[in-house]
């Protein structure tokens, strides 16, 4: 037994979540702590976000059929939070652990099978167990509580697919996001993305993309100096999502090729004249829109034959059948929002003690 381990399933300092459960176990769920008493919260507040993340929504998502009904077990009485821990349970109704029996002794390329086994000496081979994207349902439930809290402060996070399967959105139409299966901000680009993803899926392949997030209503002054920077905390939160492999704020990596004159955000009596820094300066919110983009890797589960090894270290070939998302982007959108909102809720409460 190892002692002194960090609890890798908890996130946040005051407004804090702890998630639990496995992909093909009985349920997943979340404990949300630090929520002030008296916040109006209903099952519908949780369900709206869970419905956006749930599987089986379209041809570009997994065919697994889960209602993802969030059950509030504690911390809410007569529609108001009580200030005690909020427990939310999401039961797995369509799990098929037997479908993964052939993966008991082999490691899927691109998944956490190998690294979990190396770390713990034991792993749940049923769809990845704890490392599965199924765990993010619990994050979304916790993020919905943060959304309800921040909505009272006028803070809103909106994420969407900006690019998928090599096809980029050319316009930003917020109204289009929830009206197409890619959750893209450009309906014309969404149709092209869907066509290309279905072609890849038919060939046993998958696609990645870029999810962009805009946060409005954040007051200037949110964030902590040095190691508690707002952008660093958001980056850590978003990169904790299994599918995310990169993140940039504002003009991000493009800024590396600009001069300081071109990248700086001048200020006059009317406010900031540009937002190249993505709404964060010195790790503290500037009061502008917070803007960042996250790189989503292609789904690692493929029907194409690939090389791998078994537990004995012997080389073998593997192709994986079953239910999976040919592109993770549309279902990761609410997860990106959830993790962002959790960071902001935590920092908002922490910031109340910043000055007299």
pLDDT digits (tens, 9 = 90+) for 135-170: 999 999 999 999 999 999 999 999 999 999 999 999
Ordered by where they begin, the domains of the chain are 10-351 (3.60.150.10)
- Whole-prediction pTM value? 0.93
d(CA 244, CA 295) in angstroms, rounded, equals 6
- Which DSSP string do the residues of 315-335 spell out, in sequence order? EEEE---S---SB-HHHHHHH
pLDDT of 345: 98
Judged against a pLDDT cut of 90, whether residue 209 lies above it is answered with: yes
Residue in the block written with tokens 């090729």: 257
The whole-number pLDDT of residue 188 equals 97
**Please, where are the H alpha helices in 152-211?**
187-202
Query: CA quadruple 107, 111, 114, 120: dihedral positive or negative?
Result: negative
Whether 105 shows a pLDDT value over 80: the answer reads yes
Average model confidence (pLDDT) across the chain: 92
Q: Model confidence over 210-230: pLDDT tens digits?
A: 999 999 999 999 999 899 999
- Whether pLDDT at 2 is above 50: no
Cβ-proximal residues to 81 (8 Å cutoff; 6+ apart), any chain: 35, 36, 37, 38, 39, 41, 75
24 — pLDDT class (breaks 50, 70, 90): confident
Closest-CA residue to 6 (of 100, 103, 119): 119
Q: Is the pLDDT of residue 58 over 80?
A: no
- pLDDT, average across residues 57-83: 85
Weakest-pLDDT range from 81-95, 170-184, 268-282, 327-341: 81-95
Rounded to 5°, angle at Cα 290 from 287 and 292: 160
């Amino acid at each position: 037994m190892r002692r002194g381990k960090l609890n890798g399933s908890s996130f946040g300092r005051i407004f804090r979540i702890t998630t639990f459960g496995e992909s093909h176990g009985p349920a997943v769920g979340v404990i949300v702590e630090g929520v002030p008493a008296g916040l109006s919260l209903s099952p519908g507040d949780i369900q709206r976000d869970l419905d956006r993340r749930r599987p089986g929504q379209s041809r570009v998502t997994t065919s697994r059929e889960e209602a993802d009904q969030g059950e509030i077990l504690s911390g809410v009485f007569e529609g108001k939070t009580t200030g005690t821990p909020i427990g939310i349970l999401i039961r797995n109704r369509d799990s098929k652990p037997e479908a993964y029996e052939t993966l008991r002794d082999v490691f899927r390329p691109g998944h956490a099978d190998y690294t979990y086994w190396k770390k713990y000496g034991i792993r749940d081979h049923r769809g990845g167990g704890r490392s599965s994207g199924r765990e993010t349902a619990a994050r979304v439930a916790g993020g919905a509580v943060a959304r309800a809290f921040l909505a009272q402060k006028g803070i809103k996070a909106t994420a969407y697919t900006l690019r998928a399967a090599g096809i980029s959105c050319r316009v930003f139409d917020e109204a289009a996001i929830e009206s197409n299966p890619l959750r893209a901000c450009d309906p014309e680009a969404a149709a092209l993305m869907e066509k290309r993803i279905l072609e890849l899926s038919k060939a046993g392949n998958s696609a990645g993309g870029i999810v962009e997030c805009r946060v409005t209503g954040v007051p200037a002054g949110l964030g902590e100096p040095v190691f508690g920077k707002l952008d660093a905390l958001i980056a850590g939160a978003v990169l904790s999502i299994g599918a995310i492999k990169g993140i940039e704020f504002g003009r991000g990596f493009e800024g590396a090729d600009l001069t300081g004159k071109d990248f700086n955000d001048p200020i006059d009596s009317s406010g900031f004249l540009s937002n190249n820094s993505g709404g964060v300066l010195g790790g503290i919110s500037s009061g502008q829109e917070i803007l960042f983009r996250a790189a989503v890797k292609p789904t690692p589960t493929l029907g194409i034959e690939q090389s791998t090894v078994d537990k004995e270290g012997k080389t073998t070939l593997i192709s994986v059948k079953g239910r999976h998302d040919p592109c993770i982007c549309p279902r990761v959108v609410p997860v990106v929002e959830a993790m962002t909102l959790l960071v902001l809720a935590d920092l908002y409460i922490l910031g109340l003690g910043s000055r007299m």
